[in-house]
Structure 1
Amino acid sequence: MNYISTRGGIMPVNFADAVLMGLATDGGLLIPESIPTVTADQLQNWAGLRFQALAAEIMRPFIGDSLPDEVITDLIERAYANFNHPEITPLHQVGQRQLLELFHGPTAAFKDIALQWLGELFDYLLTQNDSYLNILGATSGDTGSAAIAGVSGKARINIFILYPHGRISPIQERQMTTVTEPNVQTIAVQGTFDDAQRIVKTLFSDVQFKTRYQLGAVNSINWARILAQTVYYFYAWGRVSGGNPDHRVSFAVPTGNFGDVFAGYLAKRMGLPIEQLILATNRNAILTRFVQTGIYAAGDVYQTLSPAMDIQIASNFERYLYYLLDENATAVRTALTNFEQERRLIVNATQRRQVNKDFIACAVDDSETLAQMQAVYDDTGYFICPHTAVGMHAAANYPDAICLATAHPAKFNEAVQIATGQTAPLPLSLQGLMNKPTRQKTLAADADVIRQYLQTTLDNTENYND
């Protein structure tokens, strides 16, 4: 399997090179040359597999000959060895609703499912190549801590995580800033997540800088993350369908950066019988507006109770746009150039009809989020995080839809307290965080400032090619 850019400016690369490249050198996102098709027989055979075995089956055609089968199996087993539930992503009945619990990893958020795998994958590839990697990423909350947990202490990797100062939850911040391994650096930028993400993309687009300092990506711009997140859609389907390939399932997906819902879209294109993908956003509703109007227009970033979704420019939207525009890289490049200039992108009537076949969308404000959290607790005694509440509210008219529970509620106990008057018990991985010493830098949301900081720091290490 080879990978190409959504913008058409690179020669095809294999899976291993795509993982290490992260963002394509032409500024686009990497995608497979073709999407494997899953047969009805495969769906039946996969329905009862344990999560790790299912992951190997789904990933193998995307990986191709970049990794031997036994290595794929070993890396997956190692990636999920420290999850605290044997099913990795179990379904949980909450009242009349099925929740797909994605928070049983080491940082109690769905990002662990991809980033524990990516950490093991990076480590293997770098060892094979006798090389080093300097990871640069931006986080709106959970990606940073999950990425750090995936690579902390790994000898061949340094990681620099940017996050918006004062715009993530206290626990989310502590999960990053209390890690004292020398290969971990956290940087609070004085701006929004979109500012942090823009800086990352700017530095990755500087090919000379990226090459000299061997920059790699862990954000959902890295294809390996999308691939890992696709697995739990198949897993959930298998648990509710009994392996019947005619059984269709809907999913409600809280999303800000479009990565999680794009993984569902990928699963559907592969052949998973998905009825509806319900795209749920908070007040920062650029994606909902796009689905409902066909206009993708950036606005102001609002701070909400679901901070991981406080995003206006969704990184993975470009991947979906590529398929929406009939896999025409020139059209994608033109559309995004216009967006950069005008801050808006408009699709035609035919394309808008396709969007409405692919997604249903709903924006949920803070008052609706709190009401959903309270209703679930009052009815069942079960705590949900505000992001999960956004997804559940969006799925109100779809009682059979499986809702993705994206983070442990204790990561957002301030919101839980407001909604329920109670606090969710802390999982073991979060206990004691608020009492640990922290380490971080606070810098301006300026690409040149961040570039200089990385350069100064990395010039004092040997983890790049002279």
Structure 2
Amino acid sequence: MDYISTRGKVGAVGFIDAVLMGLGDDGGLLVPKRIPQVPADTLAQWSKLSYPELALELFSLYTDGEIPREDLKQLVDDSYAAFRDKDVTPVRKVNDGTYVLELFHGPTFAFKDIALQFLGNLYSYISRQKNSIIHILGATSGDTGASAIEGVRGKEGIRICILHPHGKVSKVQELQMTTVNDANVLNLSVDGNFDDCQRIIKDLFADVAFKQEYHLRAINSINVARVLAQIVYYFYAYFRLDEKVRAAGGVNFSVPTGNFGDIFAGYLAKRMGLPVGKLILATNENNILERFVSEGVYQPGEFHMTYSPSMDIQVASNFERYLYYLYGEDSEAVCSLMDSFKKDGRIGIPAEKLAQVQSDFAAYGVQNDECLATIGEYHDEYGYLLDPHTACGATASAKHTAQGETTIVLATAHPAKFNEAIELIHIEQTFPPQIQALFDKPQFQTRVPGTNEAVKAELLKFF
């Protein structure tokens, strides 16, 4: 399988080189040259597979033999062995029209574990195969950092630096990152918000000479392996539904998203042949993506801190990948759009493109009070406790699920990670022991200004 850049100025590369490149050397994002198609008879065969077995089949399509199958199987098995539920991503029925896909049974209680356990093991495998050191650089709005650190901490040949916005992640998210004292881990607490962290990361990766000299590798969802790993649970969740439910028509997915990676994985799953109905994009008061779906204008607005901080994002990393497909895989059109965004701070699309967007997605921006109300409703009516991000997905699902339809809401984190919001509606929860133990540990982090120069200086010392 070859991978190419959305901006068309990177020659086709294989899977491993695409993983190592992270951000395209032309500033674009890497995508598969073709989207594999899964026929109905293959879907029927896959419906009986366990999660690791299904992951192996899907990864095989995108690696296309570049990693020997036995090696790939070992990577998959190692990646999901540490999950607390035997199904890895179990599906829970809430009511006749709503199911919850629990994606928080990994080591850090967040959906990012599903991709980052695999990517961490993959980087370790590549380091051994190439006998080379890997320096991982990433930004987080909360969950990516902890999951990435957990995926590579202590691994030989790998160093990792994670940037997080100072004071703008939940306390548990901060502790999960900063209580790690492994020599190969550096936490930078950056003055600013997540978009500042993400901009610094992209700028450093765009400095190709610096990137190559220090063997920089991406852990954020700009790395195509992150998105590919997330495709798996869309297929798995669909297969977990009763055959009568599946036979009734396309199943909707409601996806809390800030960086567009999680829902883009669902978009690829649909393009591959999974019979998905609506892809419901749930966001919060930082609703740039909702405005794009409703109005065809992509333009950052005023930044808001919310009860769902992992979605407090204005500039979505994976949005460019969707533009590539929206514009018929025309890299020149993508370059023009991204140049316009860099120059004017906005992208506007014509009416016919907006019609396609609205065919691909429904969207809803959830206000803070709606988020809390949904948490209370699910707790009181169904005995199910949602985290604030999942509550955004559940709220958007209620807005866009018609009578007789079925929607799977992606539960992206365990509620214990966001107790600040849960406490506001006077719900008490018991923390898992792994999370409770964090509060007694010392923290290790370095606070830095939100500039490229300050971060680069810390990286040079670390490397």
Q: Which TM-score applies when normalising by structure 1?
A: 0.96
Of the structure 1 ranges 130-139 and 374-383, higher mean CA displacement relative to structure 2 is found in 374-383
Of the structure 1 ranges 46-55 and 390-399, higher mean CA displacement relative to structure 2 is found in 390-399
- In the alignment, structure 1 residue 425 sits paired with structure 2 residue 430: yes
Partner residue, 1:462: none
C-alpha distance in 2 between matches for 1:17 and 1:423: 47
Q: Is the 8 A contact 1:95 1:379 kept in 2?
A: no
- Secondary structure of the residue aligned to 1:7 is coil
Q: Is the 8 A contact 2:115 2:229 kept in 1?
A: yes
> Residue 300 of structure 1: CA displacement?
2.2
Partner residue, 1:461: none
Partner residue, 2:225: 224
Query: Equivalences for 1:404-415 in 2 at 5 Å?
Result: 404-415=410-421
C-alpha distance in 2 between matches for 1:323 and 1:207: 26
> Residue 245 of structure 1: CA displacement?
7.3
- In the alignment, structure 1 residue 403 sits paired with structure 2 residue 409: yes
- Secondary structure of the residue aligned to 2:303 is coil
> Residue 94 of structure 1: CA displacement?
2.3
Q: Is the 8 A contact 2:149 2:160 kept in 1?
A: yes
Q: Is the 8 A contact 1:83 1:105 kept in 2?
A: yes
C-alpha distance in 2 between matches for 1:232 and 1:272: 11
Query: Equivalences for 1:122-271 in 2 at 5 Å?
Result: 122-242=123-243, 247-271=249-273
- Secondary structure of the residue aligned to 1:163 is strand
Partner residue, 2:374: 372
Match of 1:282 among 281, 284, 295: 284
C-alpha distance in 2 between matches for 1:286 and 1:339: 13
C-alpha distance in 2 between matches for 1:423 and 1:370: 14
C-alpha distance in 2 between matches for 1:391 and 1:446: 33
Per-residue CA deviation, residues 388-428 of structure 1 (Å, 9 max, x unaligned), is 00000001141621100000000011111112x12322223
- Secondary structure of the residue aligned to 1:34 is coil
C-alpha distance in 2 between matches for 1:269 and 1:395: 21
2:184 aligned partner, one-letter code? N
> Residue 430 of structure 1: CA displacement?
1.1
Per-residue CA deviation, residues 233-286 of structure 1 (Å, 9 max, x unaligned), is 000111115396784210000000000000000000001000100000000000
- Secondary structure of the residue aligned to 2:241 is helix
C-alpha distance in 1 between matches for 2:366 and 2:221: 23
C-alpha distance in 1 between matches for 2:357 and 2:318: 15
Q: Is the 8 A contact 1:410 1:423 kept in 2?
A: no
Q: Is the 8 A contact 1:257 1:313 kept in 2?
A: yes
Q: Is the 8 A contact 1:265 1:277 kept in 2?
A: yes
- In the alignment, structure 1 residue 26 sits paired with structure 2 residue 32: no
Per-residue CA deviation, residues 64-87 of structure 1 (Å, 9 max, x unaligned), is 122011111110000000100000
1:66 aligned partner, one-letter code? E
C-alpha distance in 1 between matches for 2:180 and 2:172: 13
- Secondary structure of the residue aligned to 1:180 is coil
Q: Is the 8 A contact 2:249 2:277 kept in 1?
A: no
Per-residue CA deviation, residues 63-115 of structure 1 (Å, 9 max, x unaligned), is 11220111111100000001000000000122442100000000000000000
Q: Is the 8 A contact 1:47 1:242 kept in 2?
A: no
Per-residue CA deviation, residues 351-393 of structure 1 (Å, 9 max, x unaligned), is 1110001000000010000000001111122211000000000
C-alpha distance in 1 between matches for 2:442 and 2:357: 47
Question: How many residues are matched?
Answer: 457
Decide whether aligned partners of structure 1 residues 245 and 43 sit closer, same or farther in structure 2, where only a CA change above 3 A counts.
Answer: farther
Of the structure 1 ranges 393-402 and 41-50, higher mean CA displacement relative to structure 2 is found in 393-402
Q: Is the 8 A contact 1:43 1:245 kept in 2?
A: no
- In the alignment, structure 1 residue 451 sits paired with structure 2 residue 423: no
C-alpha distance in 2 between matches for 1:292 and 1:270: 25
> Residue 434 of structure 1: CA displacement?
1.1
Partner residue, 2:333: 331
- Secondary structure of the residue aligned to 1:99 is strand
Q: Is the 8 A contact 2:186 2:462 kept in 1?
A: no
1:417 aligned partner, one-letter code? E
Partner residue, 2:422: 416
Q: Is the 8 A contact 1:258 1:316 kept in 2?
A: yes
Of the structure 1 ranges 244-253 and 202-211, higher mean CA displacement relative to structure 2 is found in 244-253
C-alpha distance in 2 between matches for 1:370 and 1:95: 20
- In the alignment, structure 1 residue 340 sits paired with structure 2 residue 342: yes
C-alpha distance in 2 between matches for 1:221 and 1:401: 28
C-alpha distance in 1 between matches for 2:74 and 2:248: 33
> Residue 438 of structure 1: CA displacement?
0.5
> Residue 9 of structure 1: CA displacement?
1.1
C-alpha distance in 1 between matches for 2:8 and 2:272: 22
C-alpha distance in 1 between matches for 2:299 and 2:249: 36
1:145 aligned partner, one-letter code? A
C-alpha distance in 1 between matches for 2:261 and 2:434: 25
Partner residue, 1:434: 439
Query: Equivalences for 1:18-97 in 2 at 5 Å?
Result: 18-96=18-96, 97=98
Q: Is the 8 A contact 1:254 1:388 kept in 2?
A: yes
Partner residue, 1:356: 358
Across the aligned residues of Structure 1 and Structure 2, the Cα RMSD in angstroms comes to: 1.2
Unaligned runs of 5+ in 2: none
C-alpha distance in 1 between matches for 2:334 and 2:430: 46
C-alpha distance in 1 between matches for 2:173 and 2:216: 24
C-alpha distance in 1 between matches for 2:181 and 2:95: 42
C-alpha distance in 2 between matches for 1:137 and 1:435: 26
- Secondary structure of the residue aligned to 2:398 is coil
1:429 aligned partner, one-letter code? Q
C-alpha distance in 2 between matches for 1:130 and 1:377: 51
C-alpha distance in 2 between matches for 1:363 and 1:120: 35
Q: Is the 8 A contact 2:189 2:447 kept in 1?
A: yes
